[in-house]
Structure 1
Amino acid sequence: MSLTKTETAVKAEGRRYRGVSNEVRTAERRMKLIEAGIKIFGSSGYHAATVKGLCQEAGLTERYFYESFPNAEALFTACYLHITDTLRGRLQQVLLGMGDEGLEEATTTGLTVFFTQFKEQPEAARILLVEVLTVNRHLEELSLRTLYSFVEMLEALAKPLIEQRAKGDPDVHLDSTLLASGLVGSVLYMAARWALEGCRQPVEHVVENAMLIFRGVGFSLVGGMPRG
């Protein structure tokens, strides 16, 4: 008795190769393409990349490229999201650990995580800070939405300080979103300049300079960033 098309598809979907399911192998190939994309897009640039070159870097045929992505833009988007999701996850871990350390220590740790990722993977810095703005309007909008998500994380830290200042001086009109946006923007521009110069300065030196900005805001709000 012959199998129906649906039955054949189900059987093929569940087929295993050397003990690994088809779904797992597909996910592994997709990850290889993302890793290749980060390397190519982050070194040669989005507009210089080709599907053929991306596949060669990943060690896969074009058939497997189109298995996961319809075009190079879709792969670039996946690379961008992989970078930002990884960074966001690491920063969230810092926030979760704030119970064991003060605000200044948590801020220093978060900045160290941020700059270290770019030091270890300069291609990621170029994708996040430069290339995403050169592809099209859709990617520009994605970049803005991502920026807002980081602003919200920082705003959660700044809001208690602003509320404390507002109680002591109601005539001062402070906006936690604007302040957080300014801090995130300053860090991004600092990172862009550092990355364009090849990340030559040690991470701790860059963090030290960034912390001057954060401490300045802290001192203006409550006379300093409390350590406990």
Structure 2
Amino acid sequence: MTSGQRRGRWSGVPLPDRQALRRDELIAAGTTLLGGADGPALTVRAACRQAGLTERYFYESFGDRDEFVRAVYDDVCNRAVTTLMSAGTPREAVERFVALMVDDPVRGRVLLLAPQVEAALARSGADWMPSFIELVQSKLTAINDPVLQRMTATGLIGALTALFTAYLDGRLAVSREPFIDYCVDLLLTLAASYPPAT
């Protein structure tokens, strides 16, 4: 029995809830490993070691490593979407998203860098892109033309993706606050350049 599986770890937790808790712990471990500063180092054994669980518990929730990698990626994407959905204004959306990805760069690296090097995520980034575009589009209420809204949202997502990728990859020598200000200004400047239709 490892230290992570010592007696009492699941004390007081109903049996039906234990698998869900173990899955959450494995997802958290996978996020740490997939978003590591030195690049993905995610194996089944490494995830189990990080979570303090045996492989038996890994396979009660995931069929194989690739399924696990996609579940980790989906979890990070869901958190990002929730963050954007909870914002009331374009500025708040960008600030919250930047804070989520910059204050926890592990998540940022999972979202933007892992799909570039992890074969299991070859399609995942593209599959999630429409969700992010639609969310940004829904915040561009100053633009009445839905086609223009869509193009603007798509352009913003492309620009922000490139900026975040370079920032998280260490290719932008800028501190947190100027980076946030630039991203917010980019969104507001582009959105403001299209006045509402009369």
Normalised by the length of structure 1, the TM-score is 0.73
Cα distance, 1:160 vs structure 2: 4.7
1:158 partner letter: L
Q: Quote the residue 1:41 is aligned against.
A: 34
Cα distance, 1:30 vs structure 2: 0.5
Query: How many residue pairs were aligned?
Result: 186
Q: Supply the distance in 2 between the matched residues of 1:18 and 1:117 (Cα, whole angstroms).
A: 33
2:92 partner letter: T
Residue correspondence of structure 1 range 57-96 to structure 2 within 5 A? 57-94=50-87
Q: Does 1:110 align with 2:93?
A: yes
Which of the residues 25, 28, 31 maps onto 1:32? 25
Q: Supply the distance in 1 between the matched residues of 2:32 and 2:194 (Cα, whole angstroms).
A: 42
Q: Supply the distance in 2 between the matched residues of 1:212 and 1:93 (Cα, whole angstroms).
A: 20
The answer on whether the counterparts of 1:162 and 1:221 sit within 8 Å (CA) in structure 2 is: no
C-alpha change, 1:56 and 1:141, in structure 2 (3 Å) is same
Cα distance, 1:50 vs structure 2: 1.9
| Corresponding residue SS for 2:164 | helix
Normalised by the length of structure 2, the TM-score is 0.83
Q: Quote the residue 2:103 is aligned against.
A: 120
2:157 partner letter: V
1:130-150 CA-partner distances (Å, limit 9, x unpaired): 1123333x6332211211101
Which structure features the higher share of helix residues?
1
The answer on whether the counterparts of 1:36 and 1:57 sit within 8 Å (CA) in structure 2 is: yes
1:24-66 CA-partner distances (Å, limit 9, x unpaired): 11111111111110111111544x4221111111101111111
Q: Quote the residue 1:101 is aligned against.
A: none
1:49-93 CA-partner distances (Å, limit 9, x unpaired): 221111111101111111111122111111111111112112111
Q: Quote the residue 1:9 is aligned against.
A: none
Max Rg structure:
1
Q: Quote the residue 2:188 is aligned against.
A: 215
1:185 partner letter: G
The answer on whether the counterparts of 1:132 and 1:143 sit within 8 Å (CA) in structure 2 is: yes
The answer on whether the counterparts of 2:143 and 2:194 sit within 8 Å (CA) in structure 1 is: yes
Q: Quote the residue 1:177 is aligned against.
A: 150
Q: Quote the residue 1:102 is aligned against.
A: none
Q: Supply the distance in 1 between the matched residues of 2:171 and 2:65 (Cα, whole angstroms).
A: 26
Which of the residues 104, 112, 115 maps onto 1:132? 115
The answer on whether the counterparts of 1:33 and 1:58 sit within 8 Å (CA) in structure 2 is: yes
Q: Supply the distance in 1 between the matched residues of 2:139 and 2:84 (Cα, whole angstroms).
A: 12
The answer on whether the counterparts of 1:119 and 1:199 sit within 8 Å (CA) in structure 2 is: no
Cα distance, 1:199 vs structure 2: 8.4
| Corresponding residue SS for 1:111 | helix
Q: Supply the distance in 1 between the matched residues of 2:53 and 2:107 (Cα, whole angstroms).
A: 22
Cα distance, 1:200 vs structure 2: 7.0
